[in-house]
Amino acid sequence: MTELRLILGDQLNPEHSWFRQQSDHVVYVMLELQQETRYVRHHAQKIIAIFAAMREFARQLREQGHRVRYVQLDDPSNRGSLTDNLDALIAYYQAVTFSWQLPDEWRLDEQLKRWSATCAIKTITVDSEHFFCERHEVSAFFGQRKSWRMEHFYREMRRRERVLMRPDATPEGGEWNYDAENRKPWKGHPAPPDDHRPMHNHTALWHTLTALEVPSFGEAHAGDFRWPLDRKEALGGLERFVRDDLRHFGDWQDAMHTDSWHLFHSLISFALNTKMLSPREVVANVQAAWQRGEVPLACAEGFIRQVLGWREYVRGVYWAKMPGYRDNNFFHHQRPLPDWFWNGNTKMNCMAQVIGQSLDHAYAHHIQRLMIVGNFALLAGLAPAQVHEWYLGIYIDAFEWVELPNTLGMSQFTDGGLLASKPYVSSAAYINKMGNYCSQCKYNPRERTGENACPFNALYWHFFIQHQSALGHNPRLSMVYHQIKKFSPQEHENITQHVKNLLIDIEKL
């Protein structure tokens, strides 16, 4: 009569209704899989964090009296792939039922669907009880519309979930969006928070991973490991953020500075994406802090928009458009990633800083991902598939359902404008305004061409000149094309020649 219930590595939600009752007929199955360590090259901290959090989850389930079969990567019975392990465990336990929570990644969803179609025993899927929306609610909301603006969806979510709403169904403060107030550069005050995250030692796990030759890159920090690994730690991080940093989040959300790699960002994405935290409690906590008068409305709204708006929205785009979304390449960009993406050895200080901190911490905040690395990748015409694999590997929070639409749709514009109303690119002027990277750079942010000119400048203008037929009609780019019209033929020629030289020598930038 045994039922096996699969718990995937990003389904570490102890509040799931599965765990309300203990039964000797139910065995929870947790698997450390070679297939999951190899579908892309992952940052060392990401692999450690997921396996260590899974082990802790299994320990706590056992402590509560649940039966758990946990198969470690180095367990001799481990067959490597998900489905081979499941076949073996079903036979071993003579299970009559197999249940799993809906996976968030298309890859695993397909694998389980195909396998269950030939499975001899009864199979059941249940919801992961995590998101505000079901998988296909976003696509139902947008229907046949050509562009899917997040803002429309977000307002609907605010109404539906009654978040920051007045009783008369108008938004608190009278505005839906306070984004314009969230764009300040940070000049050293207030002081950014110390790193309050928990400290763990995962040297033994790291030795196992290296002995098994699990491919990885980036700093492991196994002996001083800082990501939260269970719900208690994750809740502690959320509460501290809401109490101490949320009030500063709005103002400096877009700022970048060499003195702080995360400024006032929450660092909750790993805990959220592995479901240790629920987005509902995150939104409720932030709303409550505003109701208590502890944070301004603009801060609370700006933060809630990320979780209730963007996070649910990109997941909806993913499920609506997969698997084809992965192959979009609106600009037909093909250039391979330069080697310095993997070590940060570039003279462009903004890129060196953001790639460097990503290798060190498996983290960069949103604007660093979008307006530094993604900006360069798009301007330089890097192959979107390679850019996607880099993002999917390097960040601690990178799971395809959230990474792919952000990387390909928002950052690389590969869908031609479904997700973003225009490409998110900038010249050095924006980077210089929002941070201090340029003040310590070999390149000059004010020059367009010439030996010391910042590469972002010529690349920026060249990008729009090159893609005029695709982008020239976009009303949001009229200023850009108005400016280009004023360039002399000589300026056009200088930009083209300069970009040609930059890209030939991209490895040396």
Among 54, 272, 300, 441, binds ligand SF4 (CB under 6 A): 441
Report the interhelical angle of 312-321 vs 150-161 (nearest 10°).
Answer: 120
Q: Taking CB under 6 A as the rule, does residue 454 contact ligand SF4?
A: yes
Calpha distance 194→262 (Å, rounded): 10
CA 275 to chain CA centroid, Å, is: 14
- Beta pairing, strands 67-71 & 26-31: parallel
Structure tokens at 243: 């109490």
Of 12 and 95, CB closest to ligand FAD = 12
Contact of residue 456 among ligand SF4, ligand FAD, none (CB under 5-8 Å per partner type) = ligand SF4
Site for ligand SF4 in 293-352 (CB under 6 A): 348-350
Shortest spacing between CB 224 and ligand FAD, in angstroms? 20
Structure tokens at 168: 């008369």
Q: Taking CB under 6 A as the rule, does residue 68 contact ligand SF4?
A: no
Contacts with ligand FAD, residue ranges (CB under 6 A): 265-269, 272-273, 306-307, 310-311, 314, 365-366, 369-370, 374, 391, 395, 397-398, 402-403, 406-407, 410-411
Site for ligand SF4 in 349-388 (CB under 6 A): 349-350
Of 302 and 449, CB closest to ligand FAD = 302
Amino acid at 480: V
Calpha distance 103→111 (Å, rounded): 10
Of 191 and 479, CB closest to ligand FAD = 191
How many amino acids of this chain bind ligand SF4 (CB under 6 A)? Answer: 13
Contact of residue 402 among ligand FAD, ligand SF4, none (CB under 5-8 Å per partner type) = ligand FAD
Furthest C-alpha separation in the chain = 80
Of 66 and 369, CB closest to ligand FAD = 369
* Residue spans of alpha helices (H) in 292-407: 297-304, 312-321, 349-361, 366-367, 375-379, 384-394, 400-404
Of 265 and 498, CB closest to ligand FAD = 265
Q: What three-state secondary structure class fits 396?
A: coil
Of 362 and 438, CB closest to ligand SF4 = 438
Contact of residue 102 among ligand SF4, ligand FAD, none (CB under 5-8 Å per partner type) = none
Establish how many alpha carbons lie within 13 A of residue 63's alpha carbon, considering only the half-sphere containing its beta carbon.
7
Contact of residue 85 among ligand FAD, ligand SF4, none (CB under 5-8 Å per partner type) = none
Report the interhelical angle of 297-304 vs 279-291 (nearest 10°).
Answer: 170
Rounded to the nearest 5 percent, the helix, strand and coil shares of the chain are 50, 10, 40
Calpha distance 224→206 (Å, rounded): 12
Q: Taking CB under 6 A as the rule, does residue 396 contact ligand SF4?
A: no
**Residue numbers at the binding site for ligand SF4 (CB under 6 A):** 348-350, 428, 431-432, 437-438, 441, 443, 445, 454, 456
